[in-house]
Amino acid sequence: MNKFLVTASVSLALIALSSCTNKSVVRYGDATEVETTNINFGSTDLQKVASQMTDSLLLSPVVGTLTVNTRPILFVESIKNKTSEHIDTESITDSISTKLLRSGKFRFVDMGRVAAVREQLEFQQNSGMVDASKAMAFGQQVGAQYMLYGNLASIVKSNKDKSDVYYKFTLRLMDLKSGLIEWADETEIRKSKEKEFVSW
Amino acid sequence: MHNFFHKTRLLLLVIPLLSGCSANSFSDLFSHYSQQMNGVKQAQQQGNFQQAISLLPTRSPDNGNYSLGLLEKARLEYLAQNNKQSRQDFAQTYELVQQNQQAAKIELSRGIENIAAVMSNDNAIRYDIPLYEQSMLNSYQALNYLAQQDLSGALVEVRRANQVQERALKANASSIDATKKSIADEKFSMDNLSQQYPSMNSAIGKVKNGFQNAYTFYLSGLLYEAGNQKNDAYIDYKKALEIYPDNHYLQQDVWRLANTLQMTNDINLFRDSFARTITNKNTFASNNTQGEVVIIIENGIVGAKQEVSLSLPIYTRHNDMRLYSVALPRYQNKLTVYPPLTLTYQGKSYQAEEIVRLQSLAAKQLQDQLPIIVTRQITRLIAKEEIRQTLVKKGGDLGNIFANIYNIATEKADTRSWSTLPDSIHILRLNLSTGTHTLNIKINGVSQAIEVSINQNKQTLITLNTIGTHVGHNIFNL
């Protein structure tokens, strides 16, 4: 009888404990800290890819000669997502173009905002609210000379002990006039995760 | 007598405790999933998808049927054309599947579920989404992305679906061997079971395994083609053809791409096996004023698992044979025949052909799982017999009655499965000149005109859902 009471109360106490041990805490962290929450494409991968690519592009001798006396105008086409994850590849190109702009060697046109620009110019030209002599005119923008584009591919494998994912990011710079690829580079990332042996 | 009440009190305490820490709620343990879904399926049958969604039982995230509930909801949202909500629910389910795959080798919570299952029934174990259901999850998710004009998102889902099918192929061989071995260890032979268990052979038909889904391959081939990845498309069409070698639309696509990609070896092979009408077509004549229309037709609702009671001879620990009544899940051993969709265009009529029979995949999956289910069932019988004997010893007749009531109440087969899926899926594919066309289709005796615009060298996808008298459609310009 006593034994039964003890086991019953112990198990009840355990259940009660397990339901109230979790307390949520909000903290600020380092944005560049290595993140390994799970095996999927994460912030560390994005940062690694973006910084390696920009370093490689800026240090390349070809680009050195391209940027001797001018600041070439680039446009970012897109990074094609060929992985099996839903990855915001625009975020990768944003990081890369921001870093390149910060270097002061390149200038960019943004194809993603063409519609907004058109709307604004139409407002300036046609709404009657803007001083006509100071309104921006159509047809005075500068065209891009180079196109930046790339691929993000992955190979995923797993068995009962571990899972492994390999990412390959390729970036290319094309001269729009000649169609030649002036520069290309790739970064690889390999992540693997061994399964825990025991968990709840 | 006094002692007996202590014992029963112990048992009474154990049951809620088990259901408390095991994955499932009380009602899931003592009623059939297929019965719980009856109302939902009726509403679905009548095309009242919103009502069906409202009838779905709500489950908390730590309920073992949570992922299954999400699947049902996402599928109904898809039918109701709430693609955004459907996408969210499928995404959440996919995440749960991923977590499950990467979970530790030994999960203590699963151990407790198994103990609970030994004390009650298989419904206490959390629902693991079988592979054919996973491939359907990714297929619907791809269509949800297409509904938002996101081809690259849809292609991600297609690649995920292919990973599922690849993994399945690998896992399949080894797991079948393992279960056969474990059955051999038990004091029970599979022959006894196969004599009594109702056959599902007509339901299974010609399906070779419970996971290879030609529809998923076909959809991925189509999307690869839309993404201008012809070689990837060719591989997936060929895989679909392996599963459905007699489907003329598949033969047509494989033949067309084999010629475009100049697969000389394959062309020679296919020339002998394909019908003349396909190989004689001049595939190079695809001029620039044509596009394609692809129709995917979903027919009906997949049948639910039912419970069947069998008397199996089992050897208890004193080596005496006793007959025990056990409850096992089964599918009805028949397939509904769906008259194929007929499309009339410019005086010619075309008929849709089957690309997947989900009912057969489900039945095959169950058949493969059966040895494991029976093994668990035997363990459970022995455990329940032990309880009964103890109670008889302590409580005499009253104990016996109590034990029998408990055993009967808990003897419930696991009838869980994704039950809002279609029963069968057909395809139809046609070359049309560019511009707007009105297609006259006839299905289930209902005639309908669908207006489509065909773009040059592009595919226009029409997805049709026919359930009962409901016919709904969606058009995607790929």
For A97-111, write each residue's pLDDT tens digit. Answer: 999 999 999 999 998
What does the pLDDT read at residue A100? 93
In chain B, what percentage of residues exceed pLDDT 70? Answer: 86
A177 touches chain B (CB under 8 A): no
> pLDDT, tens digit, for every residue of B438-473?
999 998 888 889 999 999 889 999 999 998 888 889
pLDDT range class, residue B22, cuts 50, 70, 90 = very low
- Neighboring chain B residues of A37 at a CB cutoff of 8 Å: none
B13:A8 CB<8 A: yes
- Neighboring chain B residues of A16 at a CB cutoff of 8 Å: none
Q: Tokens at residue B197, please?
A: 């268990």
pTM of the model: 0.84
DSSP E strand stretches across chain A: 73-82, 107-109, 146-158, 162-175, 181-194, 198-199
- Residues A176, B382: Cα–Cα separation, whole Å: 77
- Residues B294, B463: Cα–Cα separation, whole Å: 8
A8:B6 CB<8 A: no
A39:B156 CB<8 A: no
Pick from A8, A163, A196: which is nearest to B104 by CB? A196
B104:A198 CB<8 A: yes
pLDDT exceeds 90 at position B380: no
pLDDT exceeds 70 at position B15: no
B102:A38 CB<8 A: yes
> pLDDT, tens digit, for every residue of A87-99?
999 999 999 999 9
pLDDT exceeds 50 at position B336: yes
ipTM beyond 0.90?
no
A84:B103 CB<8 A: no
In A, minimum Cα distance to B150 occurs at A86
Q: Indicate the average pLDDT of chain B.
A: 83
- Answer whether B445's CB lies under 8 Å from B102's CB: no
Q: When comparing pLDDT for A9 and A101, which is higher?
A: A101
Pick from A85, A158, A199: which is nearest to B156 by CB? A85
A1:B6 CB<8 A: yes
The residue with tokens 């030609």 is B214
Residues whose CB falls within 8 Å of the CB of residue B357, separated by 6 or more in sequence, listed in order:
B205, B207, B335, B423, B424
Pick from A156, A160, A198: which is nearest to B163 by CB? A156
- Neighboring chain A residues of B17 at a CB cutoff of 8 Å: 11, 15
In chain B, what percentage of residues exceed pLDDT 90? Answer: 38
Across the beta sheet with B290-299, the strand order is B353-357, B424-433, B290-299, B459-467, B470-477
Domain ranges of chain A: 40-194
pLDDT exceeds 80 at position B314: no
What does the pLDDT read at residue B428? 94
DSSP for B48-70?
A: -HHHHHHHSPP--TTSTTHHHHH
What does the pLDDT read at residue B8? 53
DSSP for B68-129?
A: HHHHHHHHHHHHTT-HHHHHHHHHHHHHHHHHHHTS-SEEHHHHHHHHHHHHS-GGGSPPPP
Q: When comparing pLDDT for B307 and B198, which is higher?
A: B307
pLDDT range class, residue B219, cuts 50, 70, 90 = very high
What does the pLDDT read at residue B218? 95
- Answer whether B123's CB lies under 8 Å from B414's CB: yes
Q: When comparing pLDDT for B388 and A119, which is higher?
A: A119
What does the pLDDT read at residue B191? 62
What does the pLDDT read at residue B19? 47
Q: When comparing pLDDT for A19 and B430, which is higher?
A: B430
In A, minimum Cα distance to B16 occurs at A12
B104:A84 CB<8 A: no
A197:B10 CB<8 A: no
pLDDT exceeds 80 at position B118: no
What does the pLDDT read at residue A166? 95
A11 touches chain B (CB under 8 A): yes
A160 touches chain B (CB under 8 A): yes
pLDDT range class, residue B58, cuts 50, 70, 90 = confident
B6:A195 CB<8 A: no
Q: Tokens at residue B276, please?
A: 């003349």
A15:B159 CB<8 A: no
The residue with tokens 């494991």 is B372
- Closest chain A C-alpha to B45 CA, distance in angstroms: 34
In A, minimum Cα distance to B224 occurs at A82
A17 touches chain B (CB under 8 A): no
- Closest chain B C-alpha to A196 CA, distance in angstroms: 4
- Domain A40-194 has what CATH class? alpha beta
Pick from A85, A195, A197: which is nearest to B102 by CB? A195
pLDDT exceeds 70 at position A2: no
Pick from A39, A156, A197: which is nearest to B104 by CB? A197
A163:B102 CB<8 A: yes
- Residues A71, A55: Cα–Cα separation, whole Å: 17
pLDDT range class, residue A60, cuts 50, 70, 90 = very high
Residues facing residue B472 across a β-bridge? B465
pLDDT range class, residue B180, cuts 50, 70, 90 = low
pLDDT exceeds 80 at position B286: no
Residues whose CB falls within 8 Å of the CB of residue B217, separated by 6 or more in sequence, listed in order:
B162, B165, B236, B237, B239, B240, B243
Fold of B2-477: 1.25.40
In this structure, of A74-88, A115-129, B285-299, B345-359, the range with the lowest mean pLDDT score is B285-299
A158:B152 CB<8 A: no
The helix (run of H) or strand (run of E) holding residue A72 is none
B102:A193 CB<8 A: yes
- Closest chain A C-alpha to B157 CA, distance in angstroms: 7
> pLDDT, tens digit, for every residue of A158-191?
887 888 999 999 999 999 999 999 999 999 999 9
What does the pLDDT read at residue B11? 52
What does the pLDDT read at residue B20? 46
Q: Tokens at residue B75, please?
A: 């599928």
Instruction: Provide the number of CB pairs (under 8 Å) joining chain A to chain B.
Output: 56
pLDDT range class, residue A7, cuts 50, 70, 90 = low
pLDDT range class, residue B176, cuts 50, 70, 90 = low
A8 touches chain B (CB under 8 A): yes
In B, minimum Cα distance to A154 occurs at B159
> pLDDT, tens digit, for every residue of B231-246?
999 999 999 998 898 8
Domain ranges of chain B: 2-477
Mutate to test the interface with A, among B17, B98, B152, B228 (most CBs of A within 10 A): B152
pLDDT range class, residue B21, cuts 50, 70, 90 = very low
